[in-house]
Amino acid sequence: MTRRSLTHADRALLREATLANMNWNTTRFTFDDLDAADAIAHYYTGFPAEGDFGLVDSDGDIARAVGWVVFLPEDDPGYGYVDADTPELSLTTFQGFRGQGIGRDLLSELIGLASARGLPGISLSVEDGNGARRLYERAGFRVVGRNGDSDTMLLSLV
């Protein structure tokens, strides 16, 4: 297993991960749907804008999981937007690798990196019914808002 920082060369991987996140419970979206929707595509098209960062966990050439944070502005917010100083997290363990603790470990390392950078916190959006919520709660995220069928959660680092 190796872990390395994500770069702009990983945008295709982030696009794949975003599709997995949007389709976490059922197939609702295609790649074309994602690319056509700015509100979704902004999670990968501009990565990394200033301040954005992330990690990929791989086994050889195979990516097992990715976690990344993006800063999005108030006039182009993510689903889990809190404020412009708080980046939003996306986390995906690819099929075949779930339930082995990879997502938990990756999240923990990302939180450490965010802390080391002096960030005030990390936000995210989790849709009703997604068991990933437990993972986030255990990591210290708390519900701070509501957006459609999803809760906005915030991990405060200050």
Binding interface with ligand COA (CB under 6 A): 20-21, 24, 65, 91-93, 98-104, 126, 130-132, 134-135
Residue 21 vs 86, nearer CB to ligand COA? 21
The CB-of-132 to ligand COA minimum distance in angstroms stands at 3
Q: Which is nearer to ligand COA, 75 or 80 (CB)?
A: 80
Ramachandran angles phi, psi of 45, nearest 5°: -65, -35
Give the shortest CB-26-to-ligand COA separation in angstroms.
11
Residues 6 or more apart whose CB falls under 8 angstroms from that of 121 comprise 82, 86, 114, 154, 155, 156, 157, 158
Least distance from C-beta 95 to ligand COA, angstroms?
Answer: 8
Residue 114 or 118 having the CB closest to ligand COA? 114
Which residue do the tokens 């404020």 mark? Answer: 83
Supply the minimum distance, in Å, between the C-beta of residue 2 and ligand COA.
16
SS3 69: strand
Residue number with CB closer to ligand COA (82 or 102) = 102
b/e map 29-67, b = 16+ CB within 10 Å:
beeeebeeeeebebbbeebbeeebbbbbbbeeeebbbbb
